[in-house]
Amino acid sequence: MAELKRTGLYDLHVELGAKMVPFAGYEMPVQYPMGVMKEHLHCRAHAGLFDVGHMGQVILRPKAGMDALVAGLEAMMPVAVQGLPEGRQRYGLFTNSTGGIIDDLMFANRGDHLFVVVNAGRKDGDIAHMKKMLAAVAEVKEVTDRGLVALQGPEAEDALSALVPAARDMRFMDVMSADTVFGELWVSRSGYTGEDGFEISVPDVDGFARALLATEGVEPIGLGARDSLRLEAGLCLYGHDMNDMITPVEANLSWAIPKPRRSGGEREGGFPGADVILAQLAKRPEKLRVGLLPETRAPMREGVILFAAAEGGDAMGYVTSGGFGPSVETPIAMGYVPPMLSTVGTQLWGEVRGKRLPVTVAALPFRPSTYKR
């Protein structure tokens, strides 16, 4: 195995007593002494600081004007890149020729360039893919001299605006730059916990993280709680709830595909896998991602097989993420079932250690999001 990489916050994690684990080729904190459950609840009640420096930060600088770059990136995804105003960010999905999801990402219009953040485990492939697809229109450059942190929770705004007063005026998915003693911050009002909050790219990530942690209400949060927070928020984790065999429609991410890119729209299709994805939008796909609420206290984790009857019979679906939701105080899961079993309230059975236990199809998210729209 290749040697694990470290983010700019490695020393701080160790100093804070984090338990470090390998994740997507990096040594990352899975939890701090507070523990997963308390970290999760702290983030929902106050503010949590996450090291997301393992994720890929990529600048797309236009070679032949922003319009050509925007059109080029739009040709890689079923979403709208055109019409994204300067200072705004959107959610995107790279798809392959069969409509499968190569990765999900955030992309921002920063005036004279686009800024893209992709998953850690996918970044090498994503960067190669962008270099190939955007060769004529963009210089694709991974940013390696900056850290990336997420500050999430109801007290995130107070904590960040103590250092960056203008952060208070940002709305969900706004992006801005701010000069600080830690270097120029690239701030977006977003995150992956269902909470209001920010993701901040910063040159002196160690100094910046220490300044935030010195603020009352801010605690460091590890990957363990990051996973339970995103699961409660009904958000997909790449490699689990989505992969290159699952389309955006199947992943229940059709909301990200706007009218102009759909059949009959002014920029219909024109992205990899468009035939498959547009057909699935017209007529339901074979499987759909749903929320699942186990009815007993036993968590149903990734890999649990779902049945339509207590007696078993044919496997009808499977769990892709599952665990315990500390804020909803019950086990929660997400998985794939055929559309006919995807209606909220549908009774299913999940096989846990040889026993089929009742589980109900539930609305997502499990906990309402608190984004500042």
Partner 1 sequence: MMMKYTEDHEWLRVEGDLVVVGITEHAATQLGDVVFVELPEPETVVATGDEVVVIESVKAASDILAPIDGEIVEVNEKLSDKPGLVNDDATGEAWFFKMKIDDMSVLDQFMSEDEYNELIG
List of residues contacting partner 1 (CB under 8 A): 30-31, 35-38, 40, 224, 228, 297-299, 301, 323-324, 326, 331, 353
Q: Which is nearer to partner 1, 81 or 362 (CB)?
A: 362
Residue 200 Cβ, how far from partner 1 at the closest point, in Å? Answer: 27
Q: Which is nearer to partner 1, 203 or 299 (CB)?
A: 299
Residue 326 Cβ, how far from partner 1 at the closest point, in Å? Answer: 7
Residue 151 Cβ, how far from partner 1 at the closest point, in Å? Answer: 22
Residue 319 Cβ, how far from partner 1 at the closest point, in Å? Answer: 13
Q: Which is nearer to partner 1, 40 or 129 (CB)?
A: 40
The string of DSSP letters for 120-153 reads: GGGHHHHHHHHHHHTTTTEEEEE--S-EEEEEES
Residue 232 Cβ, how far from partner 1 at the closest point, in Å? Answer: 12
Q: Which is nearer to partner 1, 38 or 284 (CB)?
A: 38
CA–CA gap between residue 280 and residue 147 (Å, rounded)? 39
Q: 15 - beta bridge partners?
A: none
CB atoms < 10 A from the CB of 72, how many?
Answer: 22
Q: Which is nearer to partner 1, 56 or 323 (CB)?
A: 323
Give the β-pairing of 47-51 and 218-220: parallel
CA–CA gap between residue 339 and residue 250 (Å, rounded)? 9
The answer to whether the CB of 366 falls within 8 A of the CB of 232 is yes
Residue 51 Cβ, how far from partner 1 at the closest point, in Å? Answer: 19
Residue 304, CA distances (Å) to 139, 180, 260, 319 in order? 44, 48, 38, 5
Residue 298 Cβ, how far from partner 1 at the closest point, in Å? Answer: 5
Q: Which is nearer to partner 1, 48 or 78 (CB)?
A: 48
Q: 211 - beta bridge partners?
A: none
Q: What is the torsional sign of CA 208, 210, 215, 220?
A: positive
Q: Which is nearer to partner 1, 3 or 329 (CB)?
A: 329
The string of DSSP letters for 46-72 reads: SEEEEE-TTSEEEEEEESS-HHHHHHH
Those residues with Cβ within 8 angstroms of residue 95's Cβ, 6 or more apart along the chain or in another chain:
76, 77, 78, 101, 102, 247, 248, 271, 272, 273, 277
Q: Which is nearer to partner 1, 30 or 133 (CB)?
A: 30
Residue 113 Cβ, how far from partner 1 at the closest point, in Å? Answer: 40
Residue 235 Cβ, how far from partner 1 at the closest point, in Å? Answer: 18
The answer to whether the CB of 127 falls within 8 A of the CB of 142 is yes
Find the Cα–Cα–Cα–Cα dihedral 346, 347, 351, 354, rounded to 10°.
-170
Q: What is the torsional sign of CA 323, 326, 330, 336?
A: negative
The answer to whether the CB of 371 falls within 8 A of the CB of 199 is no
Q: Which is nearer to partner 1, 26 or 324 (CB)?
A: 324
Instruction: Compute the half-sphere exposure of residue 176: CA atoms within 13 Å on the CB side of its CA.
Output: 15
